[in-house]
């Protein structure tokens, strides 16, 4: 009996998946306030999982049991949270000071619309009209201290501590996916698909984690509590692949749109287990799936917490590349997302202890 018979077809991204991504992208879920996103995911996955629970940190964890004993225990984690804002003080009628949650460049904020709290109340990060600003003012960077969220006259009873997100609404256009929080709702949407079609030879823990953007705090608890044999982290990573202004060769692009899923070799928090990297590269090649090695360097994912949990967990990260991460809008490619889903599907089909037959 053939054991590792390959699936003949790998999944594709259809309207159904894009519609789900749209709902996920449009939902509000700043670090520490992931309930709205979690609710969408829970409804989506409950029919397909053997158990679904929310842990102390707020991570949503679904288990899919293997058929047969001694199965490999695989953790796949995708963080639910996004970067955003918190109201911290009231200046006057409807005008609020705010702080940043997660890494946001304050230069990208003036003039952006936001949605505040559970009811998605509209607000604006106000900017001075060009008519009234001086030349000197226009040459200065607007610092966070001088920015406010204007929720409009009459909106004076917003609770301090309320969260806010960019108001960008999702669009799929041509080959592109455009929206806020695609870091990491793309990973979330991928993990939902994987859970729905999980092969029977592995035990899968699918973790939709919280608070990644402020230090992989949810993932640390998941890894400690569930102690898998190995882990895949699904995330989104910046692409800086635009041409250089002087037409010189761009040597610092990090990742490039259209080149397929980005496999990590090294980031600030993890030097990836080369056995995992080789497994992913081999799986991609065997299945004709394009991939790219993300340029080693800064940044980090849930892997930073997961791989150091207890006495160590072999961990890989695979990201969908996107331009303008952590601003009001990201642009990603549908093809990169689809190839990410295909790479993970093929990897789950063939994953086994054989990856570790050589020492790291």
Partner 1 sequence: MKELLKKLTETAAPSGHEANIRNLIRKEIEPYVDEISVDVMGNLIARKGKKQKDGHRILIAAHMDEIGLMASHISEKGFVYVASIGGVNPLTCVGSRVVFLNGTVGVISLETEKIDKVPTINQLFIDVGATSADDCPVNVGDVCVFDRPFIDMRKRMVAKAMDDRVGCLLAIETLKQIKESPNELVFVFTTQEEIGARGATTSAYGVDPEIGIALDVTLSADTPHCTPVNPVLGEGPCIKVRDSSLIAHPAVIEAMKKAAASRKIKVQMEVLRFAGTDAGAIHTVRSGVPSGCLSIACRYVHSPSEMIDTSDVENAIVMLKVLLENPIAL
Catalytic member of 193, 212, 213, 338: 212
* Count of residues in contact with partner 1, rule CB under 8 A: 24
Query: Would you say 32 or 314 has its CB closer to partner 1?
Result: 314
Under rule CB under 8 A, residue 72 binds partner 1: no
Query: Would you say 161 or 297 has its CB closer to partner 1?
Result: 297
Query: Would you say 288 or 297 has its CB closer to partner 1?
Result: 297
The answer to whether 73 and 203 have CB atoms below 8 angstroms apart is yes
Under rule CB under 8 A, residue 147 binds partner 1: no
Under rule CB under 8 A, residue 134 binds partner 1: no
Beta bridge partners of 275: none
Under rule CB under 8 A, residue 313 binds partner 1: yes
- Which residues lie closer than 8 Å to 20 by C-beta, 6 or more apart? 44, 189, 192
We find the least distance from the C-beta atom of residue 268 to partner 1, in angstroms, to be 9
Q: Which stretch binds partner 1 (CB under 8 A): 6-14, 60-68, 173-181, 293-301?
A: 293-301
The CA–CA distances, whole Å, from 44 to 16, 189, 191 equal: 12, 10, 11
Query: Would you say 4 or 251 has its CB closer to partner 1?
Result: 251
The CA–CA distances, whole Å, from 222 to 29, 56, 205, 230 equal: 19, 10, 10, 13
We find the least distance from the C-beta atom of residue 295 to partner 1, in angstroms, to be 4
Residue from 26, 295, 319, 350 touching partner 1 (CB under 8 A): that is 295
Q: Is 36 one of the annotated active-site residues of the chain?
A: no
Q: HEC string of 302-340? A: CHHHHCCCCCCCCEEEEEEEEECCCCCCEEEEHHHHHHH
- What SS3 class is residue 280? helix
Instruction: Give the Cα separation of 176 and 104 in Å (integer).
Output: 23
Residue from 277, 290, 324, 352 touching partner 1 (CB under 8 A): that is 277
| CB-based burial label for 360 (10 Å; 0-12, 13-18, 19+) | exposed
Residue from 98, 166, 259, 272 touching partner 1 (CB under 8 A): that is 272
Under rule CB under 8 A, residue 142 binds partner 1: no
Question: Footprint of partner 1 on residues 314-333 (CB under 8 A)?
Answer: 314
Helical packing angle, 182-196 and 334-350, nearest 10°: 40
Question: Footprint of partner 1 on residues 199-258 (CB under 8 A)?
Answer: 249, 251-253
Under rule CB under 8 A, residue 157 binds partner 1: no
Instruction: Give the Cα separation of 234 and 236 in Å (integer).
Output: 7
Active site members: 212
Note the residues at the interface with partner 1 (CB under 8 A). Answer: 249, 251-253, 265-266, 271-274, 277, 293, 295-297, 307-308, 310-314, 359-360
């Amino acid at each position: 009996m053939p054991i590792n018979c390959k699936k003949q077809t790998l999944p594709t991204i259809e309207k159904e998946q894009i519609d789900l991504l749209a709902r996920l992208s449009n939902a509000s879920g700043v670090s520490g306030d992931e309930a709205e996103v979690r609710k969408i995911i829970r409804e989506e996955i409950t029919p397909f999982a053997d158990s679904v629970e929310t842990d102390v940190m707020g991570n949503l964890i679904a288990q899919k049991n293997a058929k047969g004993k001694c199965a490999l225990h695989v953790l796949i984690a995708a963080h639910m949270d996004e970067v955003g804002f918190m109201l911290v003080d009231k200046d006057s009628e409807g005008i609020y000071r705010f702080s940043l949650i997660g890494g946001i460049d304050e230069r990208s904020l003036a003039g952006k619309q936001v949605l505040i709290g559970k009811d998605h109340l509209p607000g604006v990060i106000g900017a001075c009209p060009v008519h009234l600003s001086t030349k000197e003012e226009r040459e200065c960077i607007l610092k966070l201290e001088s920015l406010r969220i204007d929720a409009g006259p009459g909106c004076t009873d917003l609770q301090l501590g309320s969260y806010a997100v960019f108001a960008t609404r999702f669009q799929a256009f041509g080959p592109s996916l455009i929206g806020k929080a695609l870091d990491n709702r793309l990973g979330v949407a991928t993990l939902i698909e994987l859970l729905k079609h999980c092969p029977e030879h592995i035990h899968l823990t699918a973790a939709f984690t919280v608070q990644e953007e402020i230090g992989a705090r949810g993932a640390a608890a998941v890894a400690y509590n569930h102690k898998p044999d190995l882990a895949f982290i699904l995330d989104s990573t910046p692409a800086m692949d635009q041409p250089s202004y002087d037409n010189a060769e761009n040597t610092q692009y990090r990742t490039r749109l259209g080149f397929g899923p980005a496999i990590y070799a090294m980031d600030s928090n993890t030097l990836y287990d080369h056995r995992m990297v080789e497994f992913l590269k081999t799986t991609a090649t065997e299945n004709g799936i394009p991939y790219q090695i993300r340029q080693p360097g800064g940044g980090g994912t849930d892997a930073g917490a997961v791989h150091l949990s207890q006495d160590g967990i072999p961990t890989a990260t695979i990201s969908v590349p996107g331009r303008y991460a952590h601003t009001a809008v990201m642009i990603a490619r549908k093809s990169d997302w689809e190839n990410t889903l295909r790479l993970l599907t093929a990897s789950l089909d063939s994953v086994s202890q054989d990856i570790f037959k050589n020492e790291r």
